[in-house]
A and B are shown apart, each in its own frame.
Chain A
Amino acid sequence: MTATNLHLYVMVAPLLSAFAVNLLGRRSRNWIAPLALGALSFSTLGALLTLQRVLQHGGYRYTVGNWQPPYGIELVIDPLSALMLLLISAVALVATVGALKSVEQELPGREHLFFTLYMILVAGLLGLVMTGDAFNLYVLLEITSITTYGLIAMGRGRAPLASFNYIIMGSIGACFYLLGAGYLYILTGTLNMADIASILPGLQGHAAIATAFGFMMVGLWVKMAFFPLHNWLPNAYSLAPTGAGIMIAPLMTKVTVYLMIRVMFSIFAPEYTFFAHPGVQAGIVWVASLAILCASALALAQRNLRRMLTYILVAEVGYMVGGVWLANSTGMTGAVLHIVNDALMTLCLFLAAAAIVYRTGSLDFDHLRGLYRRMPLTMAAFTVGAFSMIGVPPTCGFFSKWYLILGAVEAGHWEFVVALLLSSLVNAVLFFRIIEIAYFKVNPQPSGDGLLAGEAPLWLLTPLLTAAIALLAVGIGSGPLVNQVIRLALPPGLAP
């Protein structure tokens, strides 16, 4: 076999750098930045090459340890996972640049520990999108979860409690997934996704398949904070150290959505997931619509920027789950595109929040007064991110929303259309409320303590502006992105 190991190097680089950061960063924190950034740059480059290769020559499978496919653990590098590899490594790279400064401020003396967990988290996410093995997926899911628990619990005040709730909910999710995988194992005797998929059609009508599918789905929904199961997310993400939030918020939920797609299409087939029980499919779209509406409504009630963003995040999960479950390729295109876009939007907004918190120490709405005057570039980038969330062209948020709504129209799910439009409107209200405060309300006492005037440091500003530019670039380039990448990445068997 002349397979390349490149995609594995993409994953191993951050993993190795985690140990290096732990060992060397303990001595001097000057080691941290070059190690982390070097590893992630390498990963990004590798992911780019992998994606290019996949687009040119088609996807490939790779078996760790050179065993026959169902016996060893198989990795699947298809356009979708290659795209996710690139997304994760690039977002992680940008996020790391931003996190460096904010961690230095918030967790002095513990940076090397923070970045050890952080790099392992990146490696876990990268591994997660490649794996083609149902059990390996569980292990990696737990790696990402444990690192996240740790990162969140490093926050101040109520963060440990939020992290504990996350542990309980996350463990329930992981256990449910494991149960589902176990049921499949009993039925098929294998853990390889492709192998399961080839055996399952012969087992039509088994109640255990439905049980397995249900449990795997619910497990993943808990992990991605799909609406009725979302309670843990807002606290966990808003109380985490700022540096952790920058990284976790854009990637965790998105990767879990990707996993849902993987499970639905690589293990089960669309014929099973969508068309065997049309009532279920319609029901989930309804739940997704409800999720969007409720999360948007909850976001309205928040008085803190980061908390508000977390509720928007929950709503965005509704977008993606709903898009996937529309069961047509337009909706799926929208969902996949939204995975990319939402990762970038969330990155941009959380980076902006980090920059604000770095300078002013607070994200309560009342403290945002007159911020445009003091941090014009930060707030400009924030505005771009906000526009993208609202769905103003040519920022990228508009384009995925377009596909999602179009898919919903095609599928006749008008409730989803209404939910998407209403949530756009709510987002407009949410963000313009902030823009109004930050732009048009003058700070009564400009010289309050801690309210240092001035723009965020370059280490925070650069990634922030990069993210903002990426939002515009991806928006304008979404045509080629969809045509040349996402169309290839769509799972087969969907209604056109």
Chain B
Amino acid sequence: MKQLQEQVARNPEGDNLIIRTAVRLLVPFIQLYGLYVIVHGHYSPGGGFQGGVVLGASFILLALAYDLKTSLRFMSERVNNLLSNLGALIFIGIALLCALLGGLFLDYAALERLIPLGAEEWHSLGIFLVELGVGLAVMSIMVSLFWDLASGGDMEEGL
């Protein structure tokens, strides 16, 4: 492993160029696919969690192909932290909103009072919103897990 690291250090661009280009091309598609998985979770396998992981994987791929700094340019540490909080907050917020609107906790039908769409539709929409939150949280957490583990916590250099 050490050899490899040394090799990379000696030759920062060269050998990795093909991989980098490929990754660069691939990443948007992976992210699109991740979004699709989240959004289409109602009709096909997938959902917030799987989609979130795929989205996270795209950033991890960036970090693998380039280095940690590059991936940090795409999503800074602060944004990452914000997104993970936001994801979890969306879920709990919606659950709480249902309760505050007079229903029970997580009773999406209570959102009817906000915009009347029909109870079933609200259930569907509620699940969607919640999955979105899950996706956000999972994505950012997966990325942050990788960052920390790959850099040993100092966020300076990756693998």
Which A residues are within 8 Å of any B CB, using their own CB?
1, 3, 5, 8-9, 12, 15-16, 19, 22-23, 26, 62-66
- For A66, give its contact among B82, B95, B109 (CB under 8 Å): B109
- For B81, the chain A residues whose CB sits under 8 A away are 22-23, 26
Residue contact A12 to B92, C-beta cutoff 8 Å: yes
Residue contact A65 to B105, C-beta cutoff 8 Å: yes
Residue contact A8 to B82, C-beta cutoff 8 Å: no
A19 to B83, CA, bound (A): 11
B62 at the interface (CB under 8 A from A): no
Residue contact B104 to A62, C-beta cutoff 8 Å: yes
Residue contact A65 to B85, C-beta cutoff 8 Å: no
- For B92, give its contact among A1, A3, A15, A64 (CB under 8 Å): A15
Which B residues are within 8 Å of any A CB, using their own CB?
81-82, 85, 88-89, 92, 95-96, 99, 103-110
Residue contact B107 to A23, C-beta cutoff 8 Å: no
Residue contact B107 to A65, C-beta cutoff 8 Å: yes
Min CB distance B122 to A, Å, is 12
Q: A12-B92, A12-B96, A15-B92 are in contact. Are A64 and B82 (CB under 8 A)?
A: no
- For B99, the chain A residues whose CB sits under 8 A away are 5, 8-9
Q: Is the interface of A mostly helix, strand, loop or mixed?
A: helix
Can you name 17 A-B pairs with beta carbons within 8 Å?
Answer: A1-B104, A8-B99, A9-B99, A12-B92, A15-B92, A16-B89, A16-B92, A16-B96, A19-B85, A19-B89, A19-B92, A23-B82, A23-B85, A64-B104, A65-B104, A65-B106, A66-B107
A23 to B81, CA, bound (A): 8
Residue contact B104 to A66, C-beta cutoff 8 Å: yes
Query: What 7 pairs between A and B have smallest CB-CB spacing?
Result: A66-B107, A65-B106, A5-B99, A66-B104, A8-B105, A19-B85, A64-B106
Closest to A62 in B: B104
- For B107, the chain A residues whose CB sits under 8 A away are 64-66
Residue contact A22 to B85, C-beta cutoff 8 Å: yes
Residue contact B92 to A5, C-beta cutoff 8 Å: no
Q: A1, A16, A64, A66: which has the most chain B beta carbons within 10 Å?
A: A66
Min CB distance A120 to B, Å, is 10
Min CB distance A110 to B, Å, is 12
- For B105, the chain A residues whose CB sits under 8 A away are 5, 8, 64-65
